Amino acid sequence: MKHLLTIEDLDRDQVETLLDRADSFAEVTRRDIKKVPTLRGQTVVTLFYESSTRTSSSFELAAKRLSADVVSVKASGSSVDKGESLKDTVETLSAYDPAAIVIRHPYAGAAQMLTRWVGASVINAGDGMHQHPSQALLDVFTLRNRLGSLEGKNIWIVGDVLHSRVARSNIAAFQLMGASVTVCGPPTLIPRGIEASGCRVRHSLDELEQADVVYLLRMQRERMGENFVPSIREYARLFQVNGRRLGPRQLVMHPGPVNRGVEIGSDVIDSDRSLIADQVTSGLAVRMAILYELLTRTDDAVEQSPPDGPVPIGEPA
Amino acid sequence: MNRNPEEVPERLPQPMIQRPGPAASMLIRQANVLDPAAGIDGAFDLLIEDGRISELAEAGTLKPGTGTEVVEAEGLHVFPAFFDPHVHLRTPGQEYKEDLETGTRSAAAGGYAGVLAMANTSPPVSSPADIEALRSQAAEQASVPVGFLATVTRDMAGEELTDMAELREAGAVGFTDDGLPIKNPGIMRRALQYQAMCGGTIALHEEDPDLSAGGSMHEGEVSLNLGLRGVPSISESVMISRDAAIAGYENGRIQVQHLSAIESIEAIRRAKADGVLITCEVTPHHLCLTDEAVRDLDASKHKMNPPLRSEADRQALIAALIDGTIDCIATDHAPHSVDEKEVPYEAANMGVTGLETAFSSIYTELVLPGVLSLELVIEKLGCGGIPFDIEPFSVAENSVANLCLVDLDAEWVVGEDGYESRSTNSWCAGETLKGRVLMTLANGQVAYRLRSFSMGVA
């Protein structure tokens, strides 16, 4: 595996291997010295054309924990602001000979384009409404840790599925791991024909009690102007998941950032049914595992560190 | 050097204009000549003298005069040249994509002897002076005859009509806001009322801008997977139905451009059955490709408007071409620079080039597998002028020489030797095609010869 572009590029074994690796890195992150020398001397570029807190900070920290040199470029305040094209920016950054480029871009397929221009491994950190594979992997990781397995679980994805790259990646990832997926939201926010991907479609929360896990999507306020929903107030009344709608054993997830009181009630966010904080923690270990898989497992590379024995800096090898 | 349109030789159809050049004289020997409309199908010698087909005789019977060029065409085919009612020559204002010289050279390389240029240039062709300037430029640069359409609304803003009568006097072949639909049905109606006085078919890019808002490909399973906003097929058909109703009411004449979807075909069928003066065209790429091709997210090859649609749509377009619902094939040749295409799919400009590959792509994808007959393809590539009152070309005796010489067995890789067009956004780039145009005669002049194609002189 050279690049991570979409969940569809992975099979179940690859996901399991990657998550096992993430388990070992999660152990590292609980040590006093949280750094391993695995990627020492390698450069990781993060290139973010959209604002991001979780994804950019966790990729950056993941690379640093693996001892890579990290160059973080954001669209604002860089040559991108001055009108430089994606190709020119990427070719400029390639001069640093990065081992990996992590890219988030507002347009679908941007990460895929990079693979045509650079020799580095390309990691898609979100491209338009297309895919966000590292999010899906950390969500599967979070659920695996809590439930043991996703096999046979019912997962409801509720909200703006139409505009969501997280939904596209997560539907594929949850199904790959054996879960059955229901998407739920107003018809204007559910893509036409999504049943073909094997999901059930619901336009109300009436049967929500069937769900083992409720995965909420962010309701973007700008969708109101485009008439996807008549009002945020009505949307919240119909589709908000809160303490009254959620049973005691149902889990809640959200990729963040949350709109408290819109798609999710505050009582749920702060309850023990919420995995939202776990998702963020998982993000670091999973992104370390992604970088590790891509950068140490190329055909001609020798494994530099066994999966269960990464050696912290400062300890004898 | 400015040329007055009146100096153009009489044999030119009035609205078309070409760079004057020497009239061709040559003997094409033992060619398989196919002109379905004229009932010609067999091996012939063609003698071309002073730009006209002076003799069409049994193969092997004509002897060249001294100094006459001889083209040995045994095993090769001669067809009446093609006519494309829908090309973008990007002049004025976007000559970095294409100009009249490169665009007509590209046409000639595809076997075309006539093209109609769309008016969505920069600025758009909205005034009689614009038409006059283009015509004098074409008289210096166009290797095949070009006709120019003017916009329906001033600067394509959709608000006021252009001076349609004066534009016609200046030489506008017809009218179009191609690139954009005419959103306001009231303006559409006024344009058709005015047409009753000044003539000029109105060519329509049919799309409801609110239904396709933000879409960059066909709305379907592929757009869902790729996370691209979709353009629903009904975006096209609702506007066709609207404009067919207005045209029927006003007895106006409309040409629907680049049909892409089943619903559109049905709307055209209904309008034709109702007696509306409506004609329509389909592009080679909509006949050969579907939205599955977009999975590679290669905007240079696979992003255009209307978008590539489903396999069911493609099959319906083929059936409609066969049953005559679709009148002709038009390329919608739309050159763009690399910088406008080598960007993420959603950000890329829409449009692909098609003049140089129109025949070869259809021959390879549809004729060789037995889907379409060669006769039908020759006819539909040739009759694009009819909606604008321009007669198709013929290779019958005494016709002006408008023909192409084609090697149906030749295999070539598109783009391998570059393009005649200034732009490289061919939807066939890198594909291996069968059937290659070796030479094109346009309005009695040699407009194109493949560089490696040699000929003998007696």
Nearest CA in chain B to A131: B227
Compute the distance between CA of residue A163 and CA of residue B443 in angstroms, rounded to an integer: 54
- pLDDT tens digits, one per residue of A63-122: 999 999 999 998 776 666 667 889 999 999 999 999 999 999 999 999 999 999 999 999
**Which of B219, B227, B344 shows the shortest C-beta gap to A168?**
B227
Please state which architecture CATH assigns to domain B26-79+400-414+427-457: Roll (2.30)
Whether residue A314 lies inside any domain: the answer is no
Domain match, A144 and A98 both: no
Angle at B208 between CA B205 and CA A230, to 5 degrees: 165
What pLDDT is recorded for position A227? 86
In chain B, where does the domain assigned CATH 3.20.20.140 lie? 81-388
User: Cα-Cα-Cα-Cα dihedral of B283, B144, B380, B315, to 10°?
Assistant: -10
Catalogue the E-assigned strands of B107-206. 112-117, 146-148, 175-176, 202-204
Closest approach of B402 to chain A, Cα-based (Å) = 43
What pLDDT is recorded for position B454? 55
Which residues does chain B have within 8 Å of residue A107's beta carbon, measured at their own beta carbons? 343-347
- Nearest-CA neighbor of B173 among B81, B268, B86? B86
Domain match, A150 and A123 both: no
CB A99 within 8 Å of CB A42: yes
Best of A88, A89, A118, A129 to disrupt the B interface (most B CBs within 10 Å) is A129
Q: What is the number of structural domains in chain A?
A: 2
- Nearest-CA neighbor of B242 among B214, B270, B221, B201? B270
Question: HSE (CB half, 13 Å, CA atoms) of B171?
Answer: 23
Does pTM top 0.90 for this prediction?
yes
Which residues does chain B have within 8 Å of residue A105's beta carbon, measured at their own beta carbons? 344
Beta-carbon neighbour count of residue A132 at 10 Å?
27
Compute the distance between CA of residue B84 and CA of residue B101 in angstroms, rounded to an integer: 16
pLDDT bin (cut points 50, 70, 90) of residue A317 is very low
**Which of A85, A128, A193 shows the shortest C-beta gap to B343?**
A85
**A109 and B345: CB-CB below 8 Å?**
yes
Q: Annotated catalytic residue: which of B291, B298, B332, B407?
A: B332
Q: Within an 8 Å CB–CB cutoff, is residue B416 touching chain A?
A: no
**A196 and B219: CB-CB below 8 Å?**
no
What pLDDT is recorded for position B456? 52
Catalogue the E-assigned strands of chain A. 43-48, 69-74, 100-105, 121-127, 154-158, 180-184, 200-202, 213-216, 251-253
Domain match, A114 and A16 both: yes
Mean pLDDT, contiguous 10-residue spans, chain B (458 residues): 42 77 96 97 97 96 89 97 98 97 98 98 97 96 98 96 95 96 97 95 97 94 95 98 98 98 98 98 98 96 98 98 98 97 94 98 98 98 97 97 98 96 98 98 96 58
Best of A86, A130, A223 to disrupt the B interface (most B CBs within 10 Å) is A130
Report CA torsion sign: B230, B233, B237, B238.
negative
Whether residue A309 lies inside any domain: the answer is no
**A130 and B226: CB-CB below 8 Å?**
yes
- pLDDT tens digits, one per residue of A150-203: 999 999 999 999 999 999 999 999 999 999 999 999 999 999 999 999 999 999
What pLDDT is recorded for position B67? 84
**Which of B220, B226, B228 shows the shortest C-beta gap to A193?**
B220
Domain match, A94 and A149 both: no
What pLDDT is recorded for position B455? 53
Size of interface A-B (CB pairs under 8 A): 57
First to last CA, chain A: 27
- Nearest-CA neighbor of A189 among A233, A145, A227, A215? A227
What pLDDT is recorded for position B11? 44
Interface pTM, i.e. ipTM: 0.88
Domain match, A165 and A96 both: no
What pLDDT is recorded for position A298? 53
CATH number at residue A210: 3.40.50.1370
- pLDDT tens digits, one per residue of B131-158: 999 999 999 999 999 999 999 999 999 9
Nearest CA in chain A to B340: A85
CB A161 within 8 Å of CB A189: yes
**Which of B219, B221, B227 shows the shortest C-beta gap to A196?**
B221
Whether residue A40 lies inside any domain: the answer is yes
Which residues does chain B have within 8 Å of residue A193's beta carbon, measured at their own beta carbons? 220-221, 224
pLDDT bin (cut points 50, 70, 90) of residue A225 is confident
Cα B343 vs. chain centroid, distance in angstroms? 27
**B297 and A113: CB-CB below 8 Å?**
yes
Domain match, A207 and A238 both: yes
DSSP H or E stretch at residue B403: strand B403-413
Domain match, A104 and A140 both: no
**A108 and B344: CB-CB below 8 Å?**
yes
Domain match, A168 and A251 both: yes
Whether residue A106 lies inside any domain: the answer is yes
Domain match, A182 and A262 both: yes
Whether residue A22 lies inside any domain: the answer is yes
Q: Within an 8 Å CB–CB cutoff, is residue B344 touching chain A?
A: yes
Compute the distance between CA of residue B378 and CA of residue B363 in angstroms, rounded to an integer: 10
In chain B, where does the domain assigned CATH 2.30.40.10 lie? 26-79+400-414+427-457
Strand duo B26-35 + B40-49: pairing = antiparallel
For residue B30, the cross-strand partners are none
Record: fold of B81-388: TIM Barrel (3.20.20)
Told to judge if B332 belongs to the known catalytic residues of this protein, a careful annotator would answer: yes
Which residues does chain B have within 8 Å of residue A165's beta carbon, measured at their own beta carbons? 227
What pLDDT is recorded for position B15? 86
Residue corresponding to tokens 């993430």: A22
Q: Is the pLDDT of residue A311 over 80?
A: no
**Which of A107, A131, A194 shows the shortest C-beta gap to B224?**
A194
Q: Within an 8 Å CB–CB cutoff, is residue B342 touching chain A?
A: yes
* Cα–Cα separations (whole angstroms), residue A81 to A76, A78, A85, B257: 6, 6, 10, 39
Closest approach of A110 to chain B, Cα-based (Å) = 5
Domain match, A85 and A173 both: no
**Which of A86, A107, A196 shows the shortest C-beta gap to B346?**
A107
Whether residue A245 lies inside any domain: the answer is yes
Domain match, A244 and A290 both: no
Range of the domain at A109: 7-131+280-296
- pLDDT tens digits, one per residue of A122-133: 999 999 999 999
Nearest CA in chain A to B295: A109
Whether residue A39 lies inside any domain: the answer is yes
CB A198 within 8 Å of CB A159: no
DSSP state of B453: -
What pLDDT is recorded for position B4? 46
Compute the distance between CA of residue A271 and CA of residue A249 in angstroms, rounded to an integer: 12
Compute the distance between CA of residue A134 and CA of residue A137 in angstroms, rounded to an integer: 5
Amino acid at A181: V
Q: Is the pLDDT of residue A307 over 70?
A: no
Domain match, A62 and A150 both: no
3-state secondary structure of B293: helix
Name every residue whose Cβ is closer than 8 Å to that of residue B182 and which is 6 or more positions away in sequence: B152, B153, B158, B188, B191, B204, B243
Residues of A with CB under 8 A from a CB of B: 85-87, 105, 107-110, 112-113, 127-131, 165, 168, 191-194, 196-197
